[in-house]
Chains A and B, each alone.
Chain A
Amino acid sequence: MSSISRNIVVLAVTAALLVVATALGFMLGASSVSLPELVAWATGGDVTDAARNILENVRTPRVLAALLAGAALATSGALIQASLDNPLASPNVIGVNSGAGLFVLLAASLAPGALWLTPLAAFAGALVTALIIFALSLGTGISRLTVVLAGIAITTVFGAGMNTILIVDPDAYIGSSTFLVGGLSGVLMRDLGWPALYIVAGVVLALAGASKLNILALGDEAAHGLGLNVRGVRLGMLAVAAVLAGAAVSFAGLLGFVGLVVPHLVRFFVGHDNRWVVPVSALAGAAFVVGCDLLARVMFAPYELPVGILMAFIGGPFFIYLILKNRGGGLD
């Protein structure tokens, strides 16, 4: 099978998984809805009031939030890994998520009730952190592992900042108990409007820039020789990654590791061509978070885990695996 037909199959399977995960996400939970009821609701048919209430008020915002956060974070991870040329990088590893989180909590504390401000603050925080990391990797020529260590330092400092805000001003963020680990239980439809817009725009820009990321993979000097504006592309793509991560953090909190794990899994199946990695990551990230959120809801029903905890359980060991796999692979 040629690589193109193989990638088309992977894309189709991922899309199918996404549809199944989304359907299950709507159906299963503390109180379940049957498939015929879901189909009837989706096609405008007759459903009981109870089922309609669950589907519209509980499941729709939740599943939509999971879809958006997953697509955004996985795409963001793919962009960050490609633009920093660093397999260990992702929005949470290099501190972009915590930058967004800190600014979200600051905004919520200083201007409570200004919902429109939340995604902007998240974006600003994400961008500031991405720029710090970019400047570090650019100015000092530090190794890829050092970028990750710098990200950990930034995450620690910003984490302390977030904890301080939550202690000093506990009302700053409703649902703050799940904000730091990432969770989707308190998300309302009104939280999703602006971020959805940013995320759709971000994914479109990521798709448009994917072929340039392939040129970047040749190394800076070779990419320059091929007429690529290396610094411009790298900065532009990091900004798009920051928009995506910031938008996701604004409603989902600090969801970890999806941006790290998903692009790697995707590359395993479709190779390193970013024209495939970016779209498949978006779909797979959405399916992954919807699936994890579903598990987090049903594993200990009627209790539920914040999805971020479950994802950290998956992502942490995967991160260690990546470090071991890359040992001697040029990370220094």
Chain B
Amino acid sequence: MTEQAAGAFAPSAPAPACADAPAGEGCAIRYEDVSFSYRPKTPFIEGLSAHIAAGAVTSIIGPNGCGKSTLVKLASGLLRPSAGRVEVAGRDTGALSPRERARMLAVLAQSSRIPPMTVSALVACGRHPHMGLGGRLGPRDQELVEAAMERAGVARFRDHDLRRLSGGERQRAFVAMTLAQDTDLIVLDEPTTYLDINACHDLMALVRDLNRREGKTVAMVIHDLDLALRYSDNLVVMQKGRVAAQGPVEDVLAAGAVGDAFQMDICPHDRLRPSERPGAPDEVERGYVLYPR
């Protein structure tokens, strides 16, 4: 595991909440009484209300087929709600043009295929919503692409073909693309799929670091419960197309909602770990052990 990953176990900052705020304030994404169905007369999501707090890392978790990725697609405008309203930074996603939306939220979609391009070409795609008709990168775009590659730790692979990178390196390149998009809000749809355990923690550490240092709001759909619990401030627990619970991780855990959704007993496990900073006291690192009920 890298230093960055190890450093990420610092106690998390208090999670900002937006549940009770007036519409749009403190909320990066707000779902208001949203319904959606993939097939006529078979509602998949009905009357769902949820929120992703600005300035925090929020994981959307739940068993397979519960509607996690649908929530992401509703926010990105790929799907339109049949009823209700989805807001990004206080604006109705349906009323935003695709480019406007892409300047407000960057989505790292689930993708089974790897585009045939170099890392720098991929990261440059992140500037698309900001480019004119000619599709040329200006000096400012170049600067942001460079900074995004540095930030995600893929600058040294800039001329490498994506198909020749490891899964973790490739996923970091995709994160760099979303950073080049230069939005306050980043949405990741199952970013750790196919990654080995080290790469998972590296990626999560990067994500949390982006939140802590650059103030990015991060929402992610994630399968791995341990990762979700360790690296998030807030949770949205989905079950059968509805929100079973949402709020700060410890509150949701204490209410038993996560265990109920997955039919698992979740046991926190603390250990002391020497601090990375010389002279500083040991840090408490919390992990979770899961037992099927």
For the complex, is A52 an interface residue (Cβ under 8 Å from B)? no
**B-chain residues with CB within 8 Å of residue A227 when the two chains form the complex:** 97-103, 128-129
Give B159's nearest chain A residue, CB to CB.
A3
| Binding stretch for chain B, among A129-137, A157-165, A189-197, A215-223 | A215-223
Cβ contact within 8 Å between B109 and A219: yes
Ranked 4 nearest A-B pairs via Cβ: A211-B135, A227-B102, A225-B107, A221-B109
Contact (A214, B125) CB under 8 Å given A226-B102, A227-B98:
yes
Residues in chain B within 8 A of chain A (CB atoms): 73, 76-78, 97-103, 106-111, 113, 115-118, 121-122, 125-126, 128-129, 131, 133-136, 159, 181
Cβ contact within 8 Å between A225 and B102: yes
Q: How far is the CA of A271 from the CA of B117 in the complex (A)?
A: 8
Cβ contact within 8 Å between B135 and A228: no
Q: How far is the CA of A226 from the CA of B116 in the complex (A)?
A: 18
Q: How far is the CA of A149 from the CA of B108 in the complex (A)?
A: 33
Cβ contact within 8 Å between A221 and B102: no
Contact (A272, B117) CB under 8 Å given A215-B128, A221-B111:
yes
> Per-residue CB proximity of A206-236 to B under 8 Å, as 1/0?
0010111011011101101111110000000
- How extensive is the interface on chain A, given as a class? 20 to 34
Q: How far is the CA of A225 from the CA of B110 in the complex (A)?
A: 11
Q: Which residue of B97, B100, B115, B129 contacts A218 across the interface (Cβ within 8 Å)?
A: B115
CB distance from B88 to the nearest CB of A (A): 12
**A-chain residues with CB within 8 Å of residue B100 when the two chains form the complex:** 227
For the complex, is A171 an interface residue (Cβ under 8 Å from B)? no
Cβ contact within 8 Å between B99 and A273: no
Cβ contact within 8 Å between A214 and B109: no
**B-chain residues with CB within 8 Å of residue A273 when the two chains form the complex:** 117, 121
Cβ contact within 8 Å between A217 and B116: yes
Contact (A224, B129) CB under 8 Å given A219-B109, A219-B115:
no
Cβ contact within 8 Å between B113 and A330: yes
Give A330's nearest chain B residue, CB to CB.
B113
> Per-residue CB proximity of A162-190 to B under 8 Å, as 1/0?
00000000000000000000000000000
Q: Which residue of A211, A219, A225 contacts B113 across the interface (Cβ within 8 Å)?
A: A219
> Per-residue CB proximity of A1-15 to B under 8 Å, as 1/0?
001000000000000
